[in-house]
Chain A
Amino acid sequence: MAEAHDYKTIGTRPIRPDGVDKVTGRALYGADLNLPSMIYGKVLRSPHAHARIKSIDLSKALAMEGVYAAVSGADFPEAKHGEIGGEGGGDVADLAKNVMARDKVLYHGHAVAAVAAKSLSVADAALEAIEVEYEVLTPVLDLLEAMKEDAPLLDDHCFTKNLPETPDKPSNIAAVMQLARGDVDEGFAQADVIVEGEYNIPMAHQGYIEPHACTATVNEGGQATIWCSTQGHFEFRSMTAKMLNMEISDLKFIASEIGGGFGGKTVVYLEPLAVLLARKSRRPVKMMMTREEVFRATGPTSGTHCRIKVGAKRDGTITSATAWLAYEAGAFAGAPMGPGAMSIFAPYDLENFKIEAFDVLLNKPKVAAYRAPGAPQSMHAMEVALDDLALELGMDPIDLRMKNAAGEGTQAPYGPKFPQIGFKECLEAAKAHPNYTKPLPEGAGRGVAAGFWFNVGMQSSAEVHVNEDGTVTVIEGNPDIGGSRASMCMMASETLGVPYEKIRALVGDTESTGFSNVTGGSRTTFATGMAVVQACEDIITQCKARAAATWGMDADQVDWKDGQAVPAPGVNADVTPLSLADIAAKAGRTGGPLLGRASLNAQGAGASFSVNICDLQVDPETGKVDVLGFTAIQDAGKAIHPSYVEGQMQGGAAQGIGWALNEEYIFDENGVMENAGFLDYRIPVASDLPMIDCHIVEVPNPSHPFGVRGVGETPIVAPLAATANAFRAATGVRVNDLPLSPPRVLSALD
């Protein structure tokens, strides 16, 4: 592993290659493709949270002037079962029913029909002309009520998975999970201090600024082209193919620029509908969700109810811990309770613990992945409990965490022993950070919390083309959601020894590059980066052979150094080094164009830990919480482009602070979300936040050529508890539930 100072490009902060288009309005996002004779698709959504569909009559809508097509669940082929990826994934048959309801609607806003018309206003009028008859059913809206045996059922065929014996009665509990080690009772018996708590966090949304949008065309041969905003166009292709019973080769997906996703754009909502409407109308169909539709009908993350109990000795050693974690799945199975359970105790070396987790159906939107899915909710419970424990013990909260911190060789709660990880380094950096000890204003409080995410590898493809003048084009299959083209170009630059400015990266469509899993799981810089490095190494191998051919040598007599082919050490040859440009210019006579390729299933993603410090102040009159300072400390393994690593840390902090202080789905007694807009679902604005200080820890991941761990998800984990703990420090009052919005704060301080 080379040391940081050996790198020429890695660790610098160049301008991203797609930047100019994004600051001038030229970059094209999901809603930005207009085609000749294009029409507009709109979705009719259920006014009920739980109802049986008795009939749907599209005829009046179809008879309207300017309406070209209308579809309902009956236009879909029978849903086939099969798994699809992601923490918001699940069964493809469920996904199909989420895209368009069949016999039942399961949440307010569930799609029941769609139309395509010449204008948005005609499409809206056509939706009103569709007649749907419902038999309204009792909605299941409370998480703990939904788990009861006598609760109304969403799905009569849902039998709880992972129980020792398959149950004979259906349930809203779709699955359970348990992790345990040691003897928790014995552990609690050894404890000098025990803390306990119950923590509720409501459903929250990713809040990406770009609503879902796509444009689809289908030709008379049935071949479809879909332009859309997605975190993974290959996976959108596969979902759409399964749902519409099409061959994958008949579907071409082009990923537009993506205006934020955070996990929410890993599953399809509009794309299969647009294909159906385009096929029926024989015209290009553009579909764009409104913000209200995004809130009501896409995938937020689970509301949760967590119970936790932690026991420790006087010196801070944790002797036992238990957790009971219920996650709302929404309308279909697939809440992120697994990763929630696996992450809750991950930062700590525990001998005795027991974790139970539940995936619970209820009449709310089907959850999708949201940045470190499941971890912010469960780890909020643990990190708040540790704060209580530190108080009881009179211990510094960072010291308490250090006392129990996992390190290399610690057996993780989810099974394996950790390889090299950077949690202790993060704790040390937090303890030493000036922001941890600087004086607080009168009445303010400071809180700390730790965060963790696994990170993943998965499949990626990359191609590297050396152009005739020696400039380089990198083609990847991962939509660039936050600057990844820059990091790909930097890794290519470092590997090839070619200046960064001479390299451009583009995101290929599904027909022009190899399969790649989603931009998610904090995997792109790690896994796709690894593919780019390998494709560059392929180029170097070819260049050495080309130089050898030019010089009349064997390939093993040639080295690649600083972007040039040179004779290997000890090879005595009177030749001028050949640069990439030299070799490219004469590639025709040494074997044709230079094209490097790599595809892989990247293993060995490195876990990323964090520690956050939050300073805040509470206005006792209004209940408003002001964050005065926030410090994010995280192990990145190696920061390829530090500005974009900081950007992830700062953006995750802001999202986590918003979740802690204001963001929540508020449902009425009929299951109608009451705050489906940015005015009432209040995400942080510029004046809500201070500057967010970042400290990047670099404990390299030995599995990546430059040590990358992946950084995108961990940043959202710790802010929830860091904020909650700072609130307690500021007010002396512990509030276990989130968000700490003015009404909750006022009633707590009362």
Chain B
Amino acid sequence: MARVVFPEHLLQHTGGEREIEVPAADFRELLINLERRWPEAGAVLEKCAVAIDGQIYQDAFLEPLEPDSEVFFMQRIEGG
């Protein structure tokens, strides 16, 4: 089960839930599971960057998850 953490500004999409555990072998599956749980949130979550075990991904779609992975959703950064 991956531990998934949402920042404050996404809580409106997660019904106020800050942290949940989700079974997923990769990020693609995680997104599917989250969208199943909060159908409205999918489009927003898809556009976020995420950090998986400390490594930041702007697009994590294909990234594998370990059973004890930590997944942080965060705002996408692009820079100047």
Contact = CB atoms under 8 A, between A and B. Distances in A.
B47 A454 contact: no
A419 B55 contact: yes
Interface string B42-75: 0000010001111111111001000000101111
A416 B80 contact: no
Nearest to B12: A164
B58 A457 contact: yes
B39 interface: no
A372 interface: yes
Interface string A360-381: 0000000011111100000000
Contact of B51 (A373, A416, A713): A416
A180 B9 CA distance: 11
Contacts of B24: none
A456 B53 CA distance: 17
A454 B80 contact: no
A689 interface: no
Interface stretch (A83-91, A139-147, A564-572): A83-91
Interface string A520-538: 1111000000000000000
A161 to B, nearest CB: 8
A670 interface: no
A338 B73 CA distance: 13
A125 interface: no
A422 interface: no
Given A415-B7, A415-B72, A416-B72, A370 B16 contact: no
Contacts of B80: 86-88, 206, 261-264, 266, 368-373, 520-521, 713
Nearest to B61: A601
A603 B57 contact: yes
Contacts of A521: 77-80
Contacts of A419: 54-55
A336 to B, nearest CB: 9
Nearest to B77: A454
Given A415-B5, A457-B58, A458-B58, A177 B75 contact: yes
A513 B74 CA distance: 32
Most central of B47, B53, B72, B78 by chain A CB within 10 Å: B78
B9 to A, nearest CB: 4
Contacts of A502: none
B28 to A, nearest CB: 14
Contact of B54 (A342, A370, A418): A418
A404 interface: no
A165 interface: yes
B8 A179 contact: yes
Given A164-B16, A416-B56, A416-B72, A369 B78 contact: yes
A522 B79 contact: yes
Contacts of B5: 415
B11 interface: yes
A414 B7 CA distance: 8
A206 B8 CA distance: 31
Given A342-B74, A414-B7, A87 B12 contact: no
Nearest to B18: A180
Contacts of B54: 409, 416-419
A170 interface: no
**From DSSP, what is the main secondary structure of chain A's interface residues?**
loop
B12 A162 contact: yes
A453 interface: yes
A372 B56 contact: no
A522 B10 CA distance: 27
Contacts of B63: 603
Contacts of B58: 456-458, 601, 603
B79 A369 contact: yes
B14 to A, nearest CB: 11
Contacts of A416: 51-56, 70, 72, 74
A339 B80 CA distance: 11
A604 interface: yes
B22 to A, nearest CB: 16
A703 interface: yes
A338 B74 CA distance: 10
Interface string A252-284: 000000000111101000000000000000000
Given A418-B54, A520-B80, A339 B75 contact: yes
A251 interface: no
Interface of B: 5, 7-12, 16, 47, 51-60, 63, 70, 72-75, 77-80
Interface of A: 83, 85-89, 162-165, 176-180, 206, 261-264, 266, 338-339, 342, 368-373, 409, 414-419, 453-458, 518, 520-523, 601, 603-605, 703, 713
26 contacts: A86-B78, A86-B80, A87-B80, A88-B80, A162-B9, A164-B11, A164-B16, A206-B80, A342-B74, A370-B80, A372-B79, A414-B72, A415-B7, A416-B54, A416-B55, A416-B70, A417-B70, A456-B58, A456-B77, A520-B78, A603-B56, A603-B57, A603-B58, A603-B59, A604-B55, A703-B55
